[in-house]
Amino acid sequence: MSIYKAVKPLTLGSGSPRRKDLLQSAGLVFEIKPATCEEPTPTPGQDPEDYAIKMAELKAINVAENNPGTYVLGSDTIVVRDRDILGKPVNREEAYEMVKSLCGRKHKVISGCALISPEGEKQSYAVSTEVEFIDFNEAAVRAYAATGEPDDKAGAYAIQGQGAFLVKGISGSYTNVVGLPLARVIESLMDWGVVVAGEG
C-alpha cells in the first residue's frame, strides 16, 4: 500500500533522477518531461530565493506549454555561500575549489518549486536548508572531487552519496538538500487535490 497516490495527471518537469526517486518513494506515479528551456544565470545582487523560484517557474511553464492537461511540477535547487550562488562545476579543479570553499562553514541549499495546473493556475515557493561542513583537509577534498560525483551537482557535492562525509549537520529538510523538499511538495499537491493519502 502506498502512502500517497496521484489522482490527477502529474508531470515532473525535471530529468533529475534524485527528484524522480523522491517522488516515487512517496508512492506517486507520474510522467517525466524534462524542461528544454535555457537556464539564465543569476543577475548581480539577485536574491537567491527569488532566483530559485524564477528558475522553477521557467521550467514548469516550459513543460506545461508542451504538455496540456496535466499538473506540472518544476524545481530548481541552488547552493548559496554567503550571497553567492554556486552552480555546477565545469571541471574537477573547480569542483575541488567549490567544495573546499564550503569546508568548515555553513551554507544554504535552496529549492524553488513551481506547480502549474492544466488551467494555468500557479503556486510557487522556496525551501531553504542550512548545511554545515566539517573542515576537511585538501587531500580528502581532492579525492572526493576526483570521484566524479560532484560533476553535475550544484555546489559540487551530493549529500545522499559519498559527499555525506563532508556534512557535520543540517538544519531543515534533508530531502531539500538532495534536490526536492518532499514534505512541502506533497503538501502543495494535496492542497490542489492532485494527491491523496492512504490509497492503495
- Bridge partners of 85, per DSSP, are 80
Q: Which helix (H) or strand (E) holds 31?
A: strand 31-32
- Altogether, the residues listed in the chain come to a count of 200
Tell me the helix, strand and coil percentages in the chain, rounded to 5.
40, 25, 35
Quick one: which of 26, 76, 34, 19 has its CA closest to 195?
Answer: 26
Quick one: which of 47, 43, 14 has its CA closest to 31?
Answer: 14
Catalytic residue check, 47: no
Give the Cα separation of 51 and 151 in Å (integer): 22
Which residue is associated with the grid cell 506549454? 65
Quick one: which of 98, 104, 81, 102 has its CA closest to 145?
Answer: 98
Catalytic-role residue among 50, 76, 84, 191: 76
- Catalytically active residues are 76
